[in-house]
Structure formats: C-alpha cells, structure tokens
Amino acid sequence: MATDASGGGKPSLLLSTLPKQLPSDFLKEITDGFSADRKLGQGGFGTVYKGFLQDGQAIAVKKLSDNSPVATEKQFKNEVGNLMAIQHENIVRLYGYCHELQKKVIEHNGRYILVDVVQSMLCYEYAPKGSLDKCIFDISSRPNWATCFKIIKGICQGLYFLHKGMDRPIVHLDLQPANILLDDNMVPKIADFGLSRLFGEEQTRINTINVVGAKGYMAPEYLYRGEISTRSDIYSLGVLIMEITTGQKNSPNDKDMCARNFINQVCQTWTDEHMASKYSSLDADSLQQVKACIETGLKCVDIDQKKRPSIVEIVDKLDGRLAL
C-alpha cells in the first residue's frame, strides 16, 4: 500500500478520497514541477516522479511522454478504470490519472507553431523501498533467503492474479527487477502492468525493445516474432526467479537479448552441491526451496513456449503441492 513520507502504514484519507481524474496542474504542483530531484525512474513510456499530497503522503506520478501513442480518450479512460479496480497485495495500486489536451509551442521548419498535445499521467502508490534491482544484486543489501523466497512467491501471486484473476488476462510484457517494487515490509508489488491495453500490444513491444533494462527478460517468440501470450511473462518470470535465487544479474547484449548465456550458466553451475555451498547456513527445507526455485526458473525459460509451466503450476510448485 502507499505509504506516507515517513514510510508509515495505510493510505491516508486524502489519498483515498482523491478523484480518479486529476488535473495536470495538480500533479505538477505535488511533484514540484516534475523536478529532477523528484525523479524516481524512467522507462520506455515515460518518467516517474515522487509527489507529496497536502498531508505528507507520498505518491508516484508516471508522466507519459508527450503524444505517447495512447488509445482514444474513451478507450484510455475505460482501460484505466479497469486497471484502477485491481486491488491485490502484490500489485502496485493505481489511484488516478490525467488525460488532458494542451497547447504547446514547438519549432517546425524554423518556425514556432502552436500544436495540440495530449498529456497523460498515471498516479500509483509509492513504494518506499524502491525497486528490486537495487537490493538483490548488492551483497551488502541483499535480503536473507527467507525474504528472497517470500519475494519470489509474492511476485508469482501477483502474476497469478494478472493472468487468472481478471475477466481477461493482463499480459505484462515487461516483467523485470526494475518493475518489481518493495514496500516497507519487503512485500513485492508488480508495477507497469496493463500498459499494453493503454498503448496497444505492438507499440508496447517496440517501446520495450528499445529500453536497455528490458533486454535479457523478453521471451524469444515475443522479441523476434511479436507473439504475445501469458507464456511471454512466464519466460521473464523464470529469469527473474533465477536472478533472485542466485544473486547474479544476467548481462545480455545485442546478440543475446533473451539471456541464454545466463540461463545456460545457471543450468550448468547450480547443482545440488553448489546450492549447499552457496547457502551453507540453510537447513534442509530451505535448501529444498532454493532447488525448487532453480528448477522452476529453468522450466520457465524453455525455448519451446508450450513446455513452460503455467502460473498456476508455478505457484503450486513453490507451495510444495506439485512437482513440475
């Protein structure tokens, strides 16, 4: 849930009573004019800023790039409304939005002209611990195994809801550590979900491919052929699970955008003996959790998408109810 500036508990009354549609001037004011000091991150569709409501409550404002190829106004509002209805512990809460037509002066062929620009913004709950990539790869800040396992299971629960808990599945298309946020209790929350509904699937793919951070998490059939299904997310989830379990970040390049080198390394290196050595302080049950995560991650990244487990099977495996 969103927390106040001090990192405290539940959303404030002010946040819970915000109108769904918010004016751009209001969002500009609470982010100090979208100042660089308030910048939390940047992705393929825009920049995220930290805002403060009058009562001190923090909120995240995603300012979409000018004239981002969003859907028509009616479709945009409908889809945002659907996304705002999503409430799950492991999914970042969407509280409001802005979708305004504004006049902007631009230079064109040496002349300054006045054009209409659609300014779109999304307002999310603020996650005080930041994104997952800031803690799992640094030995000094890396959580213990119990917390890592809780994070893995929480991400799986959030993806389960997106794939199975809706009238129609939401395919994330950009599941990676930077899009997993952590609250004060290290509960993981999936961010940037539903963008394919706002921008269209092909535009989402184009924007995602052009973002450096997304390389190494995209399924080959999505990256190279544009095939979109929940199995694309399962591939990304597999890479994510292996990164959290091993503490190693995959290092893709333009010739290896699907992290096959990283996957092969995990497959060859993470034997039972290696797991016991790396996690020497764990008891037998915890080592079994590590093994289940490595095995699950490797099955998720099968080149043959039909052989990848469903999110239902993954959740059951990590809960000890199923052998994949």
> Catalytic: 32?
no
Given a contact cutoff of 8 angstroms between Cβ atoms, the answer to whether 273 and 253 are in contact is no
Token pair of 162 as six digits = 């997106």
Determine whether 23 is exposed, middle or buried from the number of CB atoms within 10 Å of its CB (0-12, 13-18, 19+). exposed
CA dihedral sign of residues 305, 306, 308, 310: positive
CATH architecture of the domain with residue range 13-125: 2-Layer Sandwich (3.30)
Report the alpha-carbon distance of residue 26 to residue 202 in Å, rounded: 32
Residue 116: predicted pLDDT = 72
Global pTM reads 0.86
Domain ranges of the chain: 13-125, 132-318
Q: 36-49: string of b/e by CB count within 10 Å (b at 16+)? A: eebebbebbbbbbb
The verdict on whether residue 63 carries a ligand-binding annotation is yes
Residue of 4, 174, 192, 233 marked active site: 174
Q: How far apart are CA 235 and CA 166, in angstroms?
A: 21
Domain 132-318 has CATH 1.20.120.1780: no
**C-alpha distances out from residue 322 to 270, 292, 316, Å:** 21, 10, 5
Q: Mean pLDDT per 10-residue run, the chain (324 residues)?
A: 41 73 94 96 85 93 73 76 91 92 77 80 93 90 96 98 90 90 96 71 57 75 87 96 96 88 97 96 96 98 97 94 70
* The pLDDT value given to residue 6: 37
Which of 146, 144, 191, 171 has the alpha carbon at shortest distance from 48?
Answer: 191
